[in-house]
Amino acid sequence: MTYLTRLTEAIKNELAQGRLGTPVYVRIVIVASSDHGHLVPVSVAGIQMVQELLGPAIDEIFVAGSVESGNLSLQLHLQGGRTGQVVVILKREGAPGADLLLVGNHGTLRHDLAEAGLADETGERLWSPGSVRAELVEAVEESLRRRTPVRLG
């Protein structure tokens, strides 16, 4: 199991308790260490997490930045007006980390992997290369190439 998978499950359990209401926005910032320098697949892992937490299908993806610069910023528009943002930054030194903000119509939830002191302790990967969906990788790469939003579906 990866850290993002465990985090997603923990947040879904929190959502099931109803204290946040309906989730409407998720922002996740992933700091990938140099050994996790596959920015597109890491960003897709973040997209998949956002979609799992918000629920509806993704209508549109827009990607800014570049693999060469070591950072990508993705804006996601989901069906029903929900939105998500995934930011992936390559950090040449230090442990990987993630910062997540989820906004519901009755409250917010924030989690910072580095702040919680877990980044150095878990030893597990943030994401799994085998779990990323090929169609999302293609959409991210197409948006990077065209420098415009890409519609899905």
- pLDDT (tens digit per residue) in 54-71: 988 999 999 999 988 889
What pLDDT shows up at residue 117? Answer: 45
Q: Quick: pLDDT tens for 80-113.
A: 999 999 999 988 777 677 889 999 999 999 988 7
Which pLDDT does position 102 carry in this prediction?
95
Give the tens place of pLDDT for each residue, 114-153.
Answer: 644 444 545 556 666 677 788 999 999 999 999 999 999 7
Residue 26, pLDDT > 50, answer: yes
Q: State residue 1's pLDDT score.
A: 52
Question: Which residues is 29 bridged to in the sheet?
Answer: 87, 99
- What's the pLDDT at 138? 95
Which amino acid, 103? V
3-state SS class at 89: strand
What does the pLDDT read at residue 21? 93
Q: Kindly state the helix (H) or strand (E) to which residue 145 belongs, with its residue range.
A: helix 134-146
Choice between 138 and 11, residue whose per-residue pLDDT is larger: 138
Query: Do 151 and 135 meet the contact criterion of CB atoms below 8 Å apart?
Result: no
Look at residue 115 in the predicted model and tell me its pLDDT: 45
| Residue 77: both structure tokens together | 């528009």
3-state secondary structure of 65: strand
Average pLDDT over residues 8-13: 86
pLDDT of residue 13: 87
Q: How far apart are CA 64 and CA 145, in angstroms?
A: 10
Q: Measured over all CA atoms, what is the biggest interatomic distance in the chain, rounded to whole angstroms?
A: 42
Strands of the chain (E only): list them.
23-33, 58-66, 71-78, 83-91, 97-104, 107-112, 150-151
